[in-house]
Chains A and B, each alone.
Chain A
Amino acid sequence: MVATEAYVALSGVLFSIGAVGVLTRRSAIMIFLCVELMLNAANLALVAYAYRWAGTGLLTGISGQTAVFIILAVAAAEVAIGLGILVAIFRNRASTDVDALSEVRL
């Protein structure tokens, strides 16, 4: 059986790749995709720890998986709102380049 830390390390790698994507991509849609990648990396760590602590009691193990379920619902809501904002911005600006969106600043 694969050790838990291997799963957590893979989760860390995926999270870092997603973070690099958020820092380097310039189109807002691509930034959203990278945020989804980071969310999934966090989900993988939660499921791995749910497996790790499964033997110590029923709730400890299964609540990790339940947290992933809730994260999934939050991600769905976030995508709906985020893509709605993107479509509204694109309608006004004909661009989703985040460097050009500089009106909302102090």
Chain B
Amino acid sequence: MVTFVILAVVSVVGALGVVLLRQPIHAALSLVGTLLTLAVLFVTLQAHFLAVIQVLVYAGAIMVLFLFVIMLLNIEQQRKEIRPWLRWVAYGIGLVAAVGLIVGALLDPRQAPDAAVARAALQGGNALLIAEVLYFEFMLAFQLVGVLLLTGMVGAVALVQRRRPPPGGVSAATAREAVLTDRPGRPSSHPVEAGGR
């Protein structure tokens, strides 16, 4: 119980840091803290394999990708808000949602399972058990995730790569392409941008 309370407090503080901290780097590192805390919570719930995956994939790979992009893009500070009261409306919505979810969860008390039974059934959530379910009951989802990851890979490469103009004369097609790709340094051809906002 003490473990749970400590972990819950740390994870909520980390989550608040994600929402409230000004600097994107600080917010991302705060989210890393929350993710690591969630990994420990997974361990307390007999999901050891998922805890390892959480640390390796989420806190490792995904958050490193985030930090790379944040440092690459050098996001500017937030400007003055147009409608400051909207922020308070959002806080109110979040508060109502949190209270509603807590009350909903506590109104439905179920007897906690016997720890020995759960431990025997889950066996620490090892990779063998997860693989058995993943490759039989979740076969369709597994295949779809494979297609999704392939699509993501192709899409990410296609989005980020720059097109080089071909050497030689500029044909109509390449001129149109240059307008579509709209490189930095060129004056923008969007009428909306030219008009200013």
What is A's interface to B at a CB cutoff of 8 Å?
1-21, 23-27, 29-30, 32-34, 36-37, 40, 43-44, 47-48, 50-55, 57-59, 61-63, 65-70, 72-81, 83-88, 90-92, 94-97, 99-100, 102-103
Contacts and interface: CB of A to CB of B under 8 A. Distances in A.
Overall SS of chain B's interface? helix
B190 to A, nearest CB: 7
Task: Identify which of B79, B93, B102, B115 gathers the most chain A CB atoms within 10 Å of its CB.
Answer: B102
Contacts of B34: 14, 37, 40
B94 A19 contact: yes
Given A19-B94, A79-B62, A81-B152, A4 B122 contact: no
Contacts of A85: 159
A8 B65 CA distance: 29
Contact of A58 (B54, B97, B121, B182): B121
The 10 A-B residue pairs with the shortest CB-CB distance, nearest first, are A12-B101, A20-B94, A77-B152, A16-B98, A23-B90, A84-B159, A21-B19, A55-B117, A54-B121, A84-B156
Nearest to B51: A47
A91 B159 CA distance: 11
